[in-house]
A and B are shown apart, each in its own frame.
Chain A
Amino acid sequence: MRGLDRSIADEAKDIGALALAVLARETQVHRGPVACELDGKVRDGEGQWRLADERIVLRAGPIRLAYERGRGVTLDVPPDVDPRNADLWLNGTIYAAVAAINGLMPLHASAVAHGGKVYAFTGPPGAGKSTLAAALGREGLPLFCDDTLILDLSHPDLIVALPGHKRLKLWPEGAALANAHLQEQVQSNYPKFFAQPAAGTVAEPMPLAELIFLEQGESPALVPVSPGERMARLQDDHYTAELFEHAARLERPQRFAQLAAIARLLPMHRFTRPYSPDKFDEGLALMRSHICQGLPA
């Protein structure tokens, strides 16, 4: 395991194994009726959720999902609806919520592994998280997770990343850029396609080395993120941060201390590049060098 102290790797594995066991137990799915309200309140929109008291309910069109700590996930699908249409929600929002309710931190990120550590890419939908992870797979870096990254923050000096979903979900344009071979469509009403990671996947928990924010810019560049910005950016991270805040129910001083602890441990960069296909390989080469050779940004 190049470049990583063995004891840290072992510690990450031990911590992560416990967390993975919790996730495996708590994400067991069974079919049953779900009342799509909580505390007398309900959200009506597609994919809207409500989380309170270690329980989440989510409505996705005609499909309803619920999770309660210690009781697993309940899936309520009308007989005339393909239950596979629930997979996106099960593997996304519900998976992240189960993690958050059980004290883990979900991030909206895809990640690859190198040298026994994890490099995660985050950004809004369409920023290219999965595409970059797929392209780095073509460069020999195995996939660690796609779209949702779960972190265990229980160790004071180590952020442990838990390996996630084993297949990439790509838009056709992203697959073309990453030279990935597409498989079946993710689901009938969602035109992304599955793809096998070219360099395989990682099964073991590992320390998180870096969080990289994907942004549009004039030319490929990596810019370090300052500590205060790290904290603010973690706070702003999409629906996963909202789930985590709802589940953890921390007062602002405790949340501040938690963000500060992460910002101290976790380097972050902004990765800017133009969203043009002819510049993709240039950006990919920069990111590969950054991860594999530790080149300064």
Chain B
Amino acid sequence: MTALAKDPARFVETIIEDETVVMRLDSGDFFSLKGTGRAVWDAIDGSRDRDAVLGIIAVRYGTTAEAIAPEVDAFLAELCEAGLLQKG
């Protein structure tokens, strides 16, 4: 599988309280990441592929990769749609 990678040239981010706030530089659009979404975002380090990210999230939330896959896949699709991930 292809490693998931953010596209740091396209956004800035900061952490405030329990939230990661991301802004796309070209549009100025804001994205608020909390809970599972934030955990997925943090797990994307440029070396892990989708399965590795799923594994990390499953361990963190005490569940199985299969159980959490639909939610994580949907979120990854949202990140791609938002232009925050590099296209693999």
What residue in chain B is nearest A232 (Cβ atoms)?
B30
B16 / chain A contacts, CB cutoff of 8 Å? 227-228, 260, 263-264
A156 contacts partner chain B, Cβ-Cβ < 8 Å = no
B17 contacts partner chain A, Cβ-Cβ < 8 Å = yes
A232 / chain B contacts, CB cutoff of 8 Å? 30
B interface, size bucket: 10 to 19
Number of A-B contacts (CB under 8 A): 38
Pair B12/A228 contact, Cβ less than 8 Å: no
The interface on chain A, measured as residues whose beta carbon lies within 8 A of the other chain's beta carbons, has a size of 14
B42 contacts partner chain A, Cβ-Cβ < 8 Å = no
User: Whole-angstrom distance from the CB of A123 to the nearest CB of chain B?
Assistant: 20
User: Whole-angstrom distance from the CB of B13 to the nearest CB of chain A?
Assistant: 9
A45 contacts partner chain B, Cβ-Cβ < 8 Å = no
Pair A227/B19 contact, Cβ less than 8 Å: yes
Pair A260/B28 contact, Cβ less than 8 Å: no
Those of B17-58 within 8 Å (CB) of chain A: 17, 19, 21, 23, 25, 28, 30-32, 34
Pair A253/B32 contact, Cβ less than 8 Å: no
Pair A260/B32 contact, Cβ less than 8 Å: no
B32 in complex: contacting residue of A228, A252, A257, CB < 8 Å: A228
A229 contacts partner chain B, Cβ-Cβ < 8 Å = yes
User: Whole-angstrom distance from the CB of B75 to the nearest CB of chain A?
Assistant: 16
A235 in complex: contacting residue of B12, B19, B28, B31, CB < 8 Å: B28
A216 contacts partner chain B, Cβ-Cβ < 8 Å = no
A252 / chain B contacts, CB cutoff of 8 Å? 12, 23, 25, 28
What residue in chain A is nearest B13 (Cβ atoms)?
A256
* 1/0 contact string of A253-272 vs chain B (CB within 8 Å): 10011001001100000000
Pair B25/A228 contact, Cβ less than 8 Å: no
A228 to B11, CA, bound (A): 14
Pair B19/A253 contact, Cβ less than 8 Å: no
Chain B contacts to A: CB under 8 angstroms: 12, 14, 16-17, 19, 21, 23, 25, 28, 30-32, 34
A-B contact pairs, 16 of them (CB 8 A): A226-B19, A226-B32, A226-B34, A227-B16, A227-B17, A228-B19, A232-B30, A235-B30, A252-B25, A252-B28, A256-B23, A257-B12, A257-B14, A260-B16, A263-B16, A263-B21
Chain A contacts to B: CB under 8 angstroms: 226-229, 231-232, 235, 252-253, 256-257, 260, 263-264
Q: Knowing that A227-B16, A227-B21 are A-B contacts, what are 8 other residue pairs whose CB atoms are under 8 Å apart, sorted by A's residue number?
A: A227-B17, A228-B16, A231-B30, A235-B28, A252-B12, A257-B14, A260-B21, A263-B16
